[in-house]
Amino acid sequence: MPTPAPSVPRLTSLTHGGGCGCKIAPAVLAQLLHAVPTKAIAPLLVGTETGDDAAVYQLNDSQAIIATTDFFMPIVDDPFDFGRIAAANALSDVYAMGGQPILALAIVGMPVNVLPVSVIGDILRGGESICREAGITVAGGHSIDSAEPIYGLAVLGVVHPQRLKRNCDARAGDVLVLGKPLGVGVLSAALKRGRLEPRAYRTLVEVTTQLNRAGAALAAITGVHAMTDVTGFGLLGHLLGICRGSGVAAELAMANIPLLDEVLGLAAEGVVTGASGRNWAAYGQKVRLAPELTAAQQALLCDPQTSGGLLVSCAREALTEVMQTFARHGAARAVRIGAVVAGEPGVSVTP
């Protein structure tokens, strides 16, 4: 009698976390960076000073290199989808700096005695498919045998130094635009608990594999002052990064913040990630929430986004062009969510 083939475990069953929810908590990360101070060499335009999305090194008057790396454990069980999501997330850091990706290297850590070679191959093929969509090649990489499956990319990009967008140049009077709805972390938590409907799963994959390719075009708009992407620290965490770096405050209206379908109800039932609580513990003292806002809304404001949308701070007169640029690049759900104001760095949220 033939021996039955071993079953392949769900990818998310092999991990303690998934997607950008795997990030080290903001407070711990701050301690780690403080313990390892760095001194920038002159051509380094962007280092670790403000926790920006990528490092940027100027080559000459018209060229700068963007360098970033991003990897995590599975947020979904389908290996091809996992590869696509991880690649889109890594590429986003280049777009968030206003650049164009030119090359990627794969970062692969897999439990090779647990996952079949075919499953690992599907992950790699998923990542390659997104890179091909972005017009670049996965030109190599590095792999190890690890206890949990890990996949991501190191990405290089290029940008004109005068079009480089940082997270520290917002100005009082700017408006804030968010390129994608929130709620990816909640949907991933629902998937891990077996509560995600097929339609919601399709939404999860669709939003996380949508490239933030609008970034380079947005960088060409004179009125765009600052830009970042919303990932593991949630909307509030990344907006606070803009506020601290720029020496300004921000005001948001909860009614204007786009949410994925069903996530508010799921969050109200306690379907949230542990990362949202860690995020709030790290920076909640810098946030003023209106008393009418619920615990579920607070969780969504801190919800870790995997391959989240671009967050743009732009002059009011540039808003129409910014919205049109998002729409031309497939981000039709981009919306204005608030404003930048003078004041001590912090965020206030009204209903």
Q: Which residues are catalytic?
A: 20
Cα–Cα distance for residue pair 250/236, rounded to 1 Å: 10
User: Which residues does residue 109 pair with via DSSP β-bridges, in sequence order?
Assistant: 144, 150
The neighbouring-strand residues paired with 108 are 143, 151
- SS3 track for 199-233: HHHHHHHHHHCCCCCHHHHHHCCCCEEEEEECCCC
Alpha helices in 65-213 (DSSP H): 79-96, 117-134, 184-192, 198-208
- What is the 8-class DSSP label of residue 166? -
Q: Which neighbouring-strand residues pair with 104?
A: 138, 155
Pairwise CA distance, residues 288 & 326, whole Å? 29
**And the tokens for 2?**
């033939």
Separation between Cα atoms, residue 81 and residue 155, nearest integer Å: 19
DSSP state of 285: G
Where does residue 304 fall: left (phi above 0), alpha (psi -120 to 50 degrees), or beta otherwise? Answer: beta
